[in-house]
Structure 1
Amino acid sequence: MIHEISYLPPNFTLSSSLLDQLSARSGSQRCIRGEDGQLLLILHDVPEPSVPERKAVFFWFDGHHWHGAENEGGKDLTLLLDAYVEAIDRLEAIVEEADTAKEIFALIRHAAPLARTTRNFYHALADAVNFSPRDRWLRHAKDRAHEIERAAELLHADARVTLEFMRAESAEEQARSSEQLARLGFRLNLLAGFFLPLVALGGLMGMNVELPAFVNGGFWFIFFGGLIMGGLILFAVGYKTGQHEQNR
């Protein structure tokens, strides 16, 4: 097998037992062990929002010391853990200051892959600790990764709860607005019901019509009777509606 893997750091001189377990792509976060006690820890950098690809970060244990791509392995891993902490702190500040559902939704799109990446990050370190149980520095890194995983999961859950709360609050505001519009519509109907007879009466009084003598009494009886009946209906509708509003 030709062990030409371009994504590995040039300062890594991995044994063939490790190289045989790799492919043309770095793949998921994991820790692989060679037959001679060497370890290769493959982790991912902090994921970028809306970017499906992950940038792999490699750590190699030669049997005696850990090596990073640029520095000593412990320093590089500490810097990587610090980058995750900074990303989570930055998103937590956005959750506290966000005022719109659009802002929270954009945050969730970043928090979800962050939570998933930190979970796999921790599992990869846990596998490395199982391969090298006496490595105290590695155990410390694993414990810190577990805290970061927990913080990322809480961030994701908090963002989702905040979004659901905003949706519920918006629905309540829309319900209150609809109720206010219904009350305003009813009041307008009452005003129309009150002024319509007055307008009709004004129009009637403005007419110069001579009625026969035998219908004068009946006309005024029907006219005033209609006004009284309309007033009673108006009062009854308003009273019933008022009782309904009080019961609610």
Structure 2
Amino acid sequence: MTRPDYSWPLPEAIERRLGRESYGAQRAIHEDGHLLLVLHEPPQSAGGAREHAVFLRTPDGAWAFHGQPGGEQALRRLLDSYQERLAKGLAAYDQADDAADLFALIERVRPMARAAVNLHAALQAAREAVKSDVELITARDRGAEIQRGLELLLADAQLALNFRLAQQAEAQTRAALANHRAQEKLNTLAAWTAPLMAVGAVFGMNLRSGVEAMDAWLFWAVLVAGMFVGWWVKAWVQRPPPPEKKKALSSAKARAGGKPPRR
């Protein structure tokens, strides 16, 4: 890929500062009274190629765009395209309903915000090089507004996305806690009833064991014993794990009187 040469006379000092493949990053080159302003069109994606918008201001104050006259109007159209992208981003932010919409918006706005920062820096450098051009002052001010708007939009979208993710995490935590409490209740109920059900199943078998004709106190004794076993099972299930044993001091540290060995 070679750098396009437009039909305008460039001073040798500017030609020496340009590469052979492209015009490079957004910047302002001021040599021998000529101002070459290299800007980029609004990016379409984060990693895509950048289309250059190259302006030339001659010492007599005339502007050209890609070798053709009418550079002032082309510069205004370029800033209008950035402003239009900003307006679309604000509308998309207002209509975002979920985290996927916010993530897609951030993915679109991030390269735009980065390009707007470099755009404003190039316009500011051009303004400092040619201080008497009103067109540059206006373009610099518009570039600052676009940069600020895109940065605020990106920050708001990122904050909204973080808030949505935090809300989802809290909802999942509450659901997990509710499930944990329900599981604890079920475990407690099982611990109480399992021994009683086991004893009832044993004594409910249609076998002659000799206890059928005994007094009613045996029934209550078996019931109390089953409840006691259920309480013991419940306490065993809910017992916390034992604390980890502290690691013993190394022999070298003990010989040093409790101090770590020197290195």
2:14 paired with 1:15: no
Equivalents in 1 of 2:3, 2:197: separation in Å? 91
Equivalents in 1 of 2:18, 2:95: separation in Å? 44
Query: In the alignment, which of 169, 180, 183 is matched to residue 182 of structure 1?
Result: 180
Higher helix share: 1
Render the CA deviation track for 1:76-129: whole Å, top value 9, x for unaligned.
Answer: 111111111111222222223223333323332332221121111111111111
Q: Compared with structure 1, are the counterparts of its residues 201 and 190 closer, same or farther at alpha carbon in structure 2 (3 Å cutoff)? A: same
Report the Cα offset of residue 212 of structure 1. 4.0
Equivalents in 1 of 2:233, 2:181: separation in Å? 16
2:65 paired with 1:68: yes
Partner residue in 2 for 1:118: 116
2:151 paired with 1:153: yes
Report the Cα offset of residue 202 of structure 1. 4.8
Partner residue in 1 for 2:88: 90
2:30 paired with 1:33: yes
Equivalents in 2 of 1:71, 1:201: separation in Å? 101
- Give the superposed CA RMSD: 2.9
Aligned 1:93-172 pairs, distance under 5 A: 93-172=91-170
Equivalents in 1 of 2:233, 2:197: separation in Å? 16
Letter in 1 for 2:37: L
Letter in 2 for 1:42: V
Report the Cα offset of residue 71 of structure 1. 5.4
Q: Compared with structure 1, are the counterparts of its residues 17 and 228 closer, same or farther at alpha carbon in structure 2 (3 Å cutoff)? A: closer
Q: Compared with structure 1, are the counterparts of its residues 184 and 158 closer, same or farther at alpha carbon in structure 2 (3 Å cutoff)? A: same
TM-score of the pair, normalised by structure 2: 0.76
Report the Cα offset of residue 52 of structure 1. 3.9
Consecutive unaligned residues in structure 2, runs of 5 or more? 236-263
Equivalents in 2 of 1:197, 1:183: separation in Å? 22
Render the CA deviation track for 1:137-163: whole Å, top value 9, x for unaligned.
Answer: 210110010000111111221122122
Letter in 1 for 2:31: G
State the identity %. Answer: 32
